[in-house]
Structure 1
Amino acid sequence: MGNVWGRDKPLKEVLRENKRMINRAVRELDREKAGLEREEKRLTIEIKKAAKENQMQSVKIMAKDLVRTRQYITKFIEMRSHLQGCALKLQTVKSHQAMAEAMQNTAKAMGKMNKAVNVPTITKMMAEFEKENARTDMMQEVMGDAIDDALEGEGTEEEEDRIVGQVLDEIGITFGEELPATAGLTVPTNGVAEGPTKVAAVAGGG
């Protein structure tokens, strides 16, 4: 559709104008239909009044007018239905256009994205990632082994302390207690007997 400048109007504008025209026509039909319905009610009242007054000629004339009025009301209803059908078709066309534009924009965006993606660079990045990931796994394994070795040494020392404690418990001695004096105390060269000996000292000298 061309305008005064000889250019084609955008489809959106054409659809908008046609929809506006259809809505205007529907409103006009509704006004005409409402007027005919008022006329129908008036004729019905007049026909009843004339029939009561036995004015049969007037009744026949107004009856014909009533029939024509009802026929026009039916036609207006049909015309309104056709206009609404046209409006729905225009709405469908508008939806199709919106979908086509969305698909076109999506295709353009995907094309730009594909051009921006550098496949060799991504491949190199993935290879470097796998290499560094393998190195990290190896480092974690080495550190884990070292920690296990250290904990294993600590466990051995704790086991030794536990065994020593069990032996001392069996002979009724705990750390810090004094060993009882024995009959076989040695006499030092200065002639003074040594006093009680601490278990800790014995353990340290052992």
Structure 2
Amino acid sequence: MKNLFKKRESPSDVIRKNQRCLSKAIREIDKEKNLFQVKEKEIISEIKKMAKINQMSSIHVMARQLVRIRSYCKKLSIMKANIQAVSLQIATLKSQDSMATAMKGVAASIKKMNSQMNLPQIQKIMIDFEKESDIVNMKGDILNDVVDDTVGDVDESEESEGIVNKILDELGIQTRNELNNLPVTSKQLGVGGQKDKSSVGKESSETDADLVARFENLKRS
């Protein structure tokens, strides 16, 4: 009747209990083995004493005791090895039980999550998210195109105007250099100097007018 109300032990509790029993048995075997080893040393010492006084009958009796003690120690070592093997198996079972318990908990959690997961709702959310993302990307592309067109035209106009002005400035400098480097011969400044001077001035004016006209044409283009 008492066992009916007793709490049922779990597999891990049973394994832990057996593990303690095996550990206790190993300690007892070590204790017995140490006692036999001490007894073995005492018998060897007694055999040496009896050999000195030539007590051969006592030596034979103690030699048989020594053989029995060594045989017991060997058996105890074998028993200890077997118990350790069983203890290792129990430890393996304990690990497997722990793993099974953990997997059971994980399986229960996954089952609960699956029961709470609404796949149609999730699919709708993903579709809406993808749709809104496409709209945002489209608006961003349109805005970038407008900005690029506006800023790009201004930048290109300013850049092209700067290039034209630079070229015209260089041509203006070159034109002034050409005017300054026009040759003046001694024949033009010789006899009839007044006439030659007027002709040179006329020629210079024509050259200057031609260069200015070319400069204006380049500027208008």
**Pair in the same fold by TM > 0.5:** yes
Alpha-carbon distance in structure 1 between the residues aligned to 2:55 and 2:82 = 41
Alpha-carbon distance in structure 2 between the residues aligned to 1:4 and 1:49 = 65
* Inter-CA distance 6–51: structure 2 relative to 1 (3 Å threshold): same
Q: Answer yes or no: is the 8 Å Cα contact 1:47–1:62 preserved in 2.
A: yes
Q: Could you tell me which residue of structure 1 aligns to residue 193 of structure 2? A: none
Alpha-carbon distance in structure 2 between the residues aligned to 1:4 and 1:29 = 37
Unaligned runs of 5+ in 2: 175-219
Q: Could you tell me which residue of structure 1 aligns to residue 215 of structure 2? A: none
Unaligned runs of 5+ in 1: 174-205
Q: Could you tell me which residue of structure 1 aligns to residue 13 of structure 2? A: 13
Larger helix fraction of residues: 2
Alpha-carbon distance in structure 1 between the residues aligned to 2:137 and 2:42 = 96
Alpha-carbon distance in structure 2 between the residues aligned to 1:86 and 1:157 = 91
Alpha-carbon distance in structure 2 between the residues aligned to 1:153 and 1:57 = 126
Give CA-to-partner distance per residue, 1:69-127, whole Å, 9 cap, x none: 11111111111112112211211211111111111111101101111211111111111
**Larger deviation, residues 26-35 vs 150-159:** 150-159
Alpha-carbon distance in structure 2 between the residues aligned to 1:44 and 1:84 = 31
Alpha-carbon distance in structure 1 between the residues aligned to 2:93 and 2:54 = 59
Alpha-carbon distance in structure 2 between the residues aligned to 1:127 and 1:150 = 35
Q: Answer yes or no: is the 8 Å Cα contact 1:19–1:87 preserved in 2.
A: yes
Offset, 1:140: 1.7
**Larger deviation, residues 51-60 vs 6-15:** 6-15
Give CA-to-partner distance per residue, 1:3-45, whole Å, 9 cap, x none: 5844432222211111111111111111110000011111111
Alpha-carbon distance in structure 2 between the residues aligned to 1:144 and 1:6 = 78
Q: Answer yes or no: is the 8 Å Cα contact 1:15–1:90 preserved in 2.
A: yes
- Give the number of the structure whose alpha-carbon radius of gyration is greater: 2
Q: Could you tell me which residue of structure 2 aligns to residue 43 of structure 1? A: 43
User: How many residue pairs end up in the alignment?
Assistant: 173
Higher relative contact order (CA 8 A, sep 6+): 2
Letter in 2 for 1:100: A
TM-score w.r.t. length of structure 1: 0.77
Alpha-carbon distance in structure 2 between the residues aligned to 1:5 and 1:137 = 69
Alpha-carbon distance in structure 2 between the residues aligned to 1:172 and 1:81 = 108
Letter in 2 for 1:78: I
Alignment of 1:75-114 (within 5 A): 75-114=75-114
Alpha-carbon distance in structure 2 between the residues aligned to 1:86 and 1:4 = 31
Offset, 1:168: 3.5
* Inter-CA distance 56–66: structure 2 relative to 1 (3 Å threshold): same
* Inter-CA distance 67–22: structure 2 relative to 1 (3 Å threshold): same
1:137 equivalent to 2:142? Answer no
